[in-house]
Amino acid sequence: GRLAGGTFAALVPVDPGFAVVGWAARAQREVGRQVTWAGQTLDLSLTIGIGHWPDDAVDCETLLRRAEQAMFEAKRQRLPIASYYSALEATRVSHLTLLSELTAAIEQGQLRMFVQPKVSPVDLQPRGVEALVRWQHPQRGWISPAEFIPFAESTGRIRHITQWMLERAIETLARWQHAGTMLGIAVNVSTVDLQDKTLPGRVEEMLRFAGVAPHWLQIELTETGLMGSGPDPIQVLHELREIGVGLAIDDFGTGQSSLGYLQRLPVHELKIDRSFVDGFATDPRRRQLLSSIIGLGHSLGLTVTAEGVELDAELEGLRSMGCDLVQGFLIAKPMDVERFDPRRIGRVAAPEAQRPAVAAAALTR
């Protein structure tokens, strides 16, 4: 029977030794076909969660709840079928606790924005900062973004974090510009954010309210996220560009985007993933590959930034290859935005008619 929306329940009597997973697989094959309805072709898919009586529950209500928990776990892991097991209950409680704590973190000011300068390899003067979200839990201390960002994406809370980062970055831009500091900031958004067609309008309204010109803000997105995001995000990106916001592809080289696909994207900057920088100073093949990526970016008219620079030899090599911007521990480590003083590092004000180079707010690191 139908439970709600697109969720259904099936009670399947089984004999000892009956392979219920095999039954579920057959059900998937039957449902997972193309159907034509009202002149349109639809692709159907099915995610199945399985609960066993009496192993997993002693009554119908609990059995149904166990099957639902297994179904949600299958969706979370992107599996077609999952069976309930006792560890799922502990996982569910843990997730509910994290969800509650993350909601409190957003509402109670536990999130922090850290910044890391991004500089020209020629004169080592900063052209912008990279902003990184941090969570300072009142009991657990600093929680790694690698722990809470994927969870936020899976629960939809990432939109609230992105909104907080956008507000914080734009407030910082307004404060810096009032003090005469003309540095750009970028905010990394997830594929979940790019599915939200209200994003461009919200960004435009925040910039207008703060009195900040759009070109000082940059939206950054990962290559792998773009490749699996469908057509709607491309439209959102074009709308952001029309507003005047800068766009960048982060972690370039980790996905499988083609040259033709890159040419379709309304981006201004290409950020090379740190895996291509690591070790290139002593590996001729890596050096040639890195040089080719820099050349590709320049051939498309993009600013090219190298991430993860930690050695003097890497900085010198990137300078000789004509890389536009670099960042990494060799330059500076991230610090709380409230402690960051651009004047202590130096700054370069961009010409009025020229778009400033800016760095990325990495939410996933």
HEC per residue, 296-364: HHHHCCCEEEECCCCCHHHHHHHHHHCCCEECCCCCCCCEEHHHCCHHHHCCCCCCCCCCCCECCCECC
Q: Is the pLDDT of residue 75 over 90?
A: no
What residues pair up with 218 in beta bridges, in sequence order? 186, 246
The pLDDT value given to residue 96: 65
pLDDT per residue over 130-152, tens digit each? 889 999 999 989 988 888 888 78
Closest CA to 131 of 364, 365, 359: 359
Give percent of the chain above pLDDT 90: 39
Q: From residue 55, how far is each of 13, 52, 58, 73, 325 by CA, in Å?
A: 14, 6, 8, 19, 59
Q: How far apart are CA 184 and CA 304, in angstroms?
A: 16
159: tokens are 């939109």
Q: How far apart are CA 197 and CA 231, in angstroms?
A: 12
pLDDT per residue over 348-365, tens digit each? 333 333 344 444 433 333
Which is more confidently placed, 7 or 109? 109
Lowest mean pLDDT among 28-32, 48-52, 91-95, 136-140: 91-95
Q: Is the pLDDT of residue 183 over 90?
A: yes
Question: Got the DSSP string for 193-260?
Answer: HHT-TTHHHHHHHHHHHHT--GGGEEEEEEHHHHHTS-SHHHHHHHHHHHHT-EEEEEEETSS---HH
What average pLDDT does the chain have? 81
Architecture of domain 101-345: Alpha-Beta Barrel (3.20)
Burial class from Cβ neighbours inside 10 Å (0-12, 13-18, 19+) for residue 49 reads: buried
Q: How far apart are CA 312 and CA 316, in angstroms?
A: 6
Give percent of the chain above pLDDT 70: 76
Q: Is the pLDDT of residue 105 over 60?
A: yes
Q: How far apart are CA 356 and CA 61, in angstroms?
A: 59
Please compute, for residue 19, the number of CA atoms within 13 A of its CA located in the half-sphere on the CB side. Answer: 7
Which is more confidently placed, 251 or 177? 177
Counting every residue, how long is the chain? 365
Measure the CA angle with vertex 148, ends 162 and 94; round to 5°. Answer: 135
Question: Got the DSSP string for 139-203?
Answer: TTEEE-HHHHHHHHHHHTTHHHHHHHHHHHHHHHHHHHHHTT---EEEEE--HHHHT-TTHHHHH
pLDDT per residue over 315-330, tens digit each? 999 999 999 999 999 9
Residue 189 burial (CB count, 10 A): 27
Closest CA to 45 of 57, 30, 60: 30
Range with the largest mean pLDDT of 33-42, 97-106, 283-292: 283-292
Q: How far apart are the first and last CA of the chain?
A: 43
User: Residue holding tokens 């996220």?
Assistant: 225
The pLDDT value given to residue 24: 74
Which is more confidently placed, 182 or 7? 182
The pLDDT value given to residue 34: 64
The pLDDT value given to residue 360: 40
Closest CA to 179 of 351, 361, 347: 347
Q: What pTM value is reported for the model?
A: 0.70
Closest CA to 67 of 115, 10, 16, 122: 10
Q: How far apart are CA 295 and CA 185, in angstroms?
A: 25
The pLDDT value given to residue 227: 64
Q: How far apart are CA 32 and CA 48, in angstroms?
A: 12
Band of residue 270 on the pLDDT scale cut at 50, 70, 90: very high
Contact 356, 182 (CB under 8 A): yes
The pLDDT value given to residue 361: 39
CA dihedral sign of residues 321, 323, 328, 333: positive
Contact 86, 77 (CB under 8 A): no
Closest CA to 271 of 257, 251, 247: 251
- Spans of all domains in the chain: 2-85, 101-345
Lowest mean pLDDT among 86-100, 232-246, 266-280: 86-100
Contact 20, 13 (CB under 8 A): no
pLDDT per residue over 199-247, tens digit each? 999 999 999 999 999 999 999 888 766 765 555 678 899 999 999 999 9
The pLDDT value given to residue 156: 79
